[in-house]
Amino acid sequence: MRLYHGTASTYLPSIEKVGLVPTTPDRVFDIEVDSGAGNPYTEHAVYLTTDLNVAKMFAELRAAYLRATPGAHISEAYGGMFWKAPTAPKPVSDANPIVLALDVPENIAAKLHRDDASPDQYQAFWYPGIIPATAIKDILTPA
């Protein structure tokens, strides 16, 4: 099953070595959202999508977050305006957006969960385990 994962180049060495590892409380975005909906709930999981453009959008948001100064405006995406929280980590100046094209093994694809926090058109899923590095078939740079 072909799926995409948007991330930042900063994480690529670790991903190529270990695979995609579920988020943990200390690795989720430290963001503030002004959309009227509050901060989105995040499963401790790997997030994937069937839509390349959604993965590109998320990769750009992740890289912008890493490059931003704490307290700075990051993006206006997903129907909200995002700021890096004032207590968030310092900037990582060389973070660039990348999208991983994955061929997800059937045993993992069968255990994907629909991401109910994302609009249906995002075709987003989450998986609570590790996606092996061997699933990576291409590394794309959003244009």
What is the rounded average pLDDT of the residues 18-24?
87
* DSSP type of residue 34: E
Distance CA(143)–CA(137), nearest Å, equals 19
- Nearest-angstrom CA–CA distance, 44 and 28: 8
pLDDT at 63: 92
Q: Residue 67 is which amino acid?
A: R
Closest CA to 42 of 119, 95, 117, 123: 117
Number of Cβ within 10 Å of residue 113's Cβ equals: 12
What pLDDT sits at residue 71? 83
How much is the average pLDDT of 42-60? 89
**% pLDDT > 70, the chain:** 82
Mean pLDDT, the chain, integer = 85
Fold adopted by 2-26+44-68+92-140: ADP-ribosylation fold (3.20.170)
Determine the average pLDDT of the residues in 15-38. Answer: 67
Instruction: Kindly report whether the global pTM for this prediction surpasses the value 0.75.
Output: yes
Q: Is the pLDDT of residue 39 over 90?
A: no
What are the tokens at 97? Answer: 């957006």
